[in-house]
Amino acid sequence: MTQQPSQSPQFFLTAPSPCPYLEGQFERKVFTHLVGDRAPELNDLLTQGGFRRSQNIAYRPACETCRACVSVRILAQEFQPTRNMKRILKRNSDMIGSAHEAEPSTEQYSLFRTYLDARHRKGGMSDMTVLDYAMMVEDTHVDTQVIEYRRRGADSFVTGRGEGELIAVALTDRMADGLSMVYSFYDPAHEERSLGTFMILDHIRRAAAAGLPHVYLGYWVNGSRKMAYKVRFKPQEHLGPNGWSRVE
């Protein structure tokens, strides 16, 4: 697709393809481009309407026979961690996340490949090259950061950064009403840390500290075990035909 979008966004519909989450289903997506000066404002509006961002594209499911994908956002100001989540926070108390400009690095890509090879070897991203990864990170026209997680250093309270090996990474958009977790990955050798859960908990803390009401997690897919973790962070809201509704 080489056509440049006009001032008003143009929306396109993909052809049906096998659903990666539910066997026997086919997915279609509606999408538009996020470019130009209005990209941050448009991204906010579309995310609030159930879209997700991938590079400079905003998309949402438009499946003909299935409505299993549900947009989920956590109410960061009201969130209280469960006992298990508190244990995960304690287990990772030696970790610190530092936010950077949306710039890729060789270290990030090495961790990204390790993660994909261990967790998503047959997924749609499994053949991503270092150039593909670079595009995923830096091809953005909105307020995007890379948050790198490392062990705390002796002077982390001064620098705000950890030291040592890179253990986890989150690609995150900051919007007017919250943080949107675009993609995250981690070192599978640290499975005992529950790093996926820890990064979500850290984003909830960041949103609450910044006075932002929401953390957007993307889609919970009813019936998909891979997406079941998203409904554990309550209270949260689900987007339905009548707008966002609270789920305790």
Which band of pLDDT confidence, cut at 50, 70 and 90, is reported for residue 219?
A: very high
CA distance 168 to 149: 5
DSSP secondary structure code for residue 195 in this structure? H
If you average pLDDT over every residue of the chain, what do you get?
Answer: 93
- Residue 19 makes CB contacts below 8 A (sequence gap 6+) with 25, 26, 27, 63, 66
Which band of pLDDT confidence, cut at 50, 70 and 90, is reported for residue 123?
A: low
Residues of the chain with pLDDT > 90, as a percent, come to 84
Average pLDDT over residues 105-116: 97
Question: What pLDDT is stored for residue 7 in this prediction?
Answer: 66
Question: What pLDDT is stored for residue 153 in this prediction?
Answer: 86
Question: What pLDDT is stored for residue 198 in this prediction?
Answer: 98
CA distance 245 to 239: 6
Q: Is 168 in a helix, a strand, or coil?
A: strand
pLDDT above 80: residue 5: no
- Residue 196 makes CB contacts below 8 A (sequence gap 6+) with 184, 186, 229
Give the tens place of pLDDT for each residue, 140-160.
999 999 999 999 988 887 788
DSSP secondary structure code for residue 79 in this structure? -
Average pLDDT over residues 96-121: 94
CA distance 198 to 234: 15
Tokens of 1: 């697709």
Average pLDDT over residues 134-138: 97
Domain boundaries, the chain: 12-68, 73-247
Question: What pLDDT is stored for residue 113 in this prediction?
Answer: 96
Give the tens place of pLDDT for each residue, 27-85.
999 999 999 999 999 999 999 999 999 999 999 999 988 999 999 999 999 999 999 99
Question: What pLDDT is stored for residue 226 in this prediction?
Answer: 86
Cα three-residue angle 227-232-236, rounded to 5 degrees: 100
CB hemisphere CA count around 154 (13 angstroms): 0
**Which fold does the domain 73-247 belong to in CATH?**
Aminopeptidase (3.40.630)
- Residue 148 makes CB contacts below 8 A (sequence gap 6+) with 97, 98, 100, 108, 162, 166, 168, 169
CA distance 63 to 125: 21
Which band of pLDDT confidence, cut at 50, 70 and 90, is reported for residue 126?
A: confident
Q: Identify whether the C-beta of residue 110 lies closer than 8 Å to the C-beta of residue 130.
A: no
Question: What pLDDT is stored for residue 75 in this prediction?
Answer: 98
